[in-house]
Copies of this chain bind each other. A is one copy, B any other.
Amino acid sequence: MPHLVILYTPNLEAQTNMTALCRALADTMLALKDESEKPVFPTGGVRVLAYPAAHFAVADDGTAGKAAGGDGDYAFVYLNLRMARGRSAATQQSAGEALIASARSHFAALFEKRHLGLTLQIDEGPEVFDARQSNLHPIFQKG
């Protein structure tokens, strides 16, 4: 049900392990509990997909970054989680806080080294139609 899509500038591709970030965020989602200590997301429904852009432009042309001692090459990571309707505001907040903490931790070293922006937004899906098919969910209900 939840989809976390990561869009990022390709200048990060060689500087960080995005597969590791995907796994860390998925694990964060899997560990989330709601007010009644139930998992917020079903295991089989957790999906994180990351996409480097082919082309991009961030902020100015690099002038300010160079003036600030950087190389003028800005990076950006956008994390967008879409979850189904009906979860409490408290659950949405705690999910967001856990995910941004996980992302900040992943990028902590890189923030020391380069110009980088990180944004996480959570949307409640506004879908007017929803259908699915999966042979994933059953394997997490066994045993």
Contact = CB atoms under 8 A, between A and B. Distances in A.
Contacts of A51: 7, 51, 53-54
How many copies altogether?
Answer: 3
Interface in A8-67: 8-9, 13, 18-19, 21-23, 25-26, 30, 43-61, 64-65, 67
A67 B142 contact: yes
Given A93-B129, A129-B121, A52 B50 contact: no
A48 B44 contact: no
Interface of A: 1, 3, 5-9, 13, 18-19, 21-23, 25-26, 30, 43-61, 64-65, 67-68, 70, 74, 76, 78, 89, 92-93, 95-97, 100, 104, 107, 111, 115-140, 142-143
